[in-house]
Homo-oligomer: A and B are copies of this chain.
């Protein structure tokens, strides 16, 4: 019972049979339909609309344009609110924008009584623009004379941040030791999208002075707050309901279209309005993983000691700030936290507004990008001195007990080297490195690896706070209400196990309330930053202890025994010593409800304010086969080994790693959202955007190093995001091993490989 058990997902049956209710299942019959009118330029200003033809479409109820929305700029990212203005997110967009900064910017919305009318009318809205040159890259946007996209940020740099560690600069370190081997390279990651199965969808109506929004989101409580900000109304007047959702991966950690949906329902007298994006809109108009260009340098001694590194990152933010600089700042931290430099680390990060699709949160939050840079650099440094790259990492990776000098986040438990050992053994590293050393011919093989580390939640950068409520039923079962959200990752299942672990009530009698409703659910900031099993888990543990105390207090009254000699085990109140059953929980609960002497409905609710953090870590090892003439990589064998502390549910943990590895493979090999010169997305659909299918995916192997983390509520720490991080650099490094060709940008697709192989003289 409880933690460590491979409990079947509590939502498995419903999800498999179609019983689980998503937004579309819950939508009432009589909703109006809204359709957003998107700009057909990437940079410019809306001058005027001609709505005549659009308004003639039968079924059109109302058209709202960017000239009619509240003059309020609001932020969209799913961060905890800060009471200090300096720490609040950037407010740089309105519900509908007159100043267009993205191809597909939201400039008007049609409300109609059916989908077809809404679509037709949206197409018939005529727009007059003042058109500016689109700025698609960070270089273009930072170039002298480039147009300013947001008045508040002349020069288009949203934030530039830098830090330096060690007693000297990178250059001083090089001066001091001229014998150092130096690598200077530019590594680049591409724009990719989350491609969750369920597109963003919500519906909104007014009831009893509240705007009720049901949405597919990871962060219902934050959606509530941002709607309040965007509409300029008190937050208590908004109610957000989150049912099951079909994936999020960070895209639903942005408050995308809920504020507009809420506003639109107020424009039709509070009637229900549905706003569902198409796949094309989802790819072009929601959020993407930032393309980041890294200029990095590293210096290493003959013996493999890493002496100094320098990190420069240019993050392509797109048209609006969204999670903005938090992501490239996190990327810089990730670069920093991976290796120890003997002398110097310099870091400069720039987040740059451009006119492409907006970058936001996506599984790993900047770390998949910086891990690519860090792990390409590590590989290239090891190669430069002829050292085994795994040995290089054993030598230079962050040591046990490492404390981040800025955030003070610590490796409270440390399994990184054990992960590397397990991966090495699994892939037959030493043997394969030798075996594939000197190949010729068109088809060659290689092994590569990469490591990562990843913090757990956002403390101390941001607030970590979570609440939980539990309700005892008459039959001794309980409801478990979390503010934390199930987004497909299995949160509901592991929370159920945690509750069983603490209360002594078996999982079959624990009913988690999967839907969050901001009017009644405990508060929690939501599913992101791999925080929930750690932070929300602490709230759960504390609340479960409180519930247990209250049950034992009632048992003490019933049994006329002191509470401290009692315990709960398998749904019975037992003698703590003998473990003998004294009363069933069912009998106790029924008595507590209906006692004529002392009736009490036992519940517990509490907040946990988390002021701790810890690092997870791990490694990916991949063996690949490269068809040089075709430029095609085939993954023969791949394993992720993770140190995520104690696993609450090993089977679900494995599934989580599978999902992340699959995402990592798409990132490594095929995915990229492309834009034409005007800033229009070229492949904003799942035919042209090359998401790997089941046919493209090799067998995925997973292993864990389970070390109890002393700060985790159950010895656990971050697991959700990390699996996506190390796959791409591991494959890039395997490619280097197989062919001797270092490809420094993602994805490693055939077109790019063929061109590199040609350059290298392999074909």
Contact surface of A with B, Cβ cutoff 8 Å: 10-11, 13-14, 17, 19-21, 25-26, 28-29, 80-83, 205-210, 225, 228, 234-237, 270, 463, 465, 467, 469, 471, 473-479, 481, 508-509, 511, 513-514, 519-520, 522-523, 586, 590-591, 593-596, 598-601, 603, 605, 607, 609
Contacts and interface: CB of A to CB of B under 8 A. Distances in A.
Contacts of A590: 81, 83
A475 B523 contact: no
Given A13-B208, A519-B511, A599-B463, A236 B473 contact: yes
A477 B19 contact: no
A13 B206 CA distance: 11
Contact of A210 (B467, B511, B594): B511
A86 to B, nearest CB: 13
A19 B465 contact: no
Nearest to A592: B607
A467 B523 contact: no
A450 to B, nearest CB: 35
Nearest to A464: B599
Contact of A520 (B21, B513, B599): B513
Contacts of A481: 520
B520 A601 contact: no
Contacts of A208: 10-11, 13-14, 511, 514
A474 B210 CA distance: 15
30 contacts: A13-B208, A14-B207, A14-B208, A17-B270, A80-B594, A81-B593, A83-B590, A83-B595, A208-B514, A209-B511, A210-B511, A228-B475, A236-B473, A236-B476, A236-B477, A236-B478, A236-B509, A236-B511, A237-B475, A463-B594, A463-B599, A469-B603, A471-B519, A471-B520, A479-B520, A511-B519, A599-B607, A600-B609, A601-B607, A605-B605
Please provide the 4 A-B residue pairs with the shortest distance between their CB atoms, ordered closest to farther.
A236-B477, A236-B473, A234-B475, A465-B599
Contacts of A467: 601, 603
A618 to B, nearest CB: 30
A80 B474 CA distance: 12
A403 to B, nearest CB: 20
Contacts of A209: 13, 508, 511
Given A29-B29, A82-B594, 19 more contacts: A17-B270, A21-B207, A26-B28, A81-B594, A210-B511, A234-B475, A235-B473, A235-B475, A236-B473, A236-B478, A236-B511, A463-B594, A465-B594, A467-B603, A471-B519, A513-B519, A523-B593, A601-B607, A603-B605
Most buried by B among A20, A207, A594: A594
